Structure 1
Amino acid sequence: MKYIKVLWHHDCPEDPIELYSEVGDDGWEVRKIELYRDGRYGRASSEGSTASTGLSDERVPDISEIAALEEFTPNEISAAEFEAVWQNAQRGPR
């Protein structure tokens, strides 16, 4: 497993500003969290999803490919950091 946090730089209030992905060794998302500017969370896993958040229907690109796109700043994070955000997303808005 690997864990990725991506900051999405944009001005659209309807889109998330932070994306968190738990990615399996095969490159497919296992769980995903989206954080919106207003503090709302969306989350998705094989067990279900909230709001408009869903698991990707494509493999997650390598961090270097994501970083090549100007509007994204990706970083690999720890499993513990991902779990903390996942727990916050289950509780609701910040």
Structure 2
Amino acid sequence: MRYIAVEWLWYRFPDRYEINDSLPVKIYSEINELGEEIRKIEFFLNGKVGFASSEISYCEVEQTETELSDQVIPELDVIDESGGTTDFVIGITKEYFEQIWQVIVDTIKK
């Protein structure tokens, strides 16, 4: 398993990008050995969240769905090569991902 965090910094460049609350600014993903995303947590600029797994899909942003990617997620070095000045990708630990997942999912389910 791999765990990654992706932060898009487009919102820091309002002269180049339209500010859009329906686009996530940070995504945490759990990825299996085949490169398939199996859990995802999305954070939006307006403070709302979404999450998805094979059992559940939830998003607080109207007219937006948080879904697992249907594409293979490449390794970090490949993502870094294709990125630009508006994104930031790092590997995170399983424990860190689990902590965020539990806080978000438990909060929403209450």
The two structures have a TM-score, normalised by structure 1, of: 0.89
Matched pairs, number: 92
Paired residue type of 1:33: I
Higher helix proportion: 2
SS in 2 for 1:33: strand
Show the 5 A alignment for 1:31-50: 31-50=39-58
Structure 1 gaps, min length 5? none
Secondary structure at 1:88 match in 2: helix
In 2, the alpha carbon distance for the partners of 1:37 and 1:85 equals 17
Say if 2:87 is the partner of 1:87.
no
Match of 1:6 in 2: 6
Q: What code does the residue aligned with 2:95 have?
A: A
TM-score (normalised: structure 2):
0.77
Instruction: Tell me which of 56, 60, 74 is aligned to 1:61.
Output: 74
SS across alignment from 2:10: coil
- Structure 2 gap ranges (5+): 12-19, 60-64
> Which stretches of structure 1, 4 residues or more, deviate above 6 A after TM superposition?
none
Among residues 62, 82, 90, which one is paired with 1:75 in the alignment?
A: 90
Query: Offset at 1:65?
Result: 2.1
Give percent identity, aligned residues only: 36
1:28 deviates by 0.2
* CA RMSD after TM alignment: 1.2
Larger radius of gyration: 2
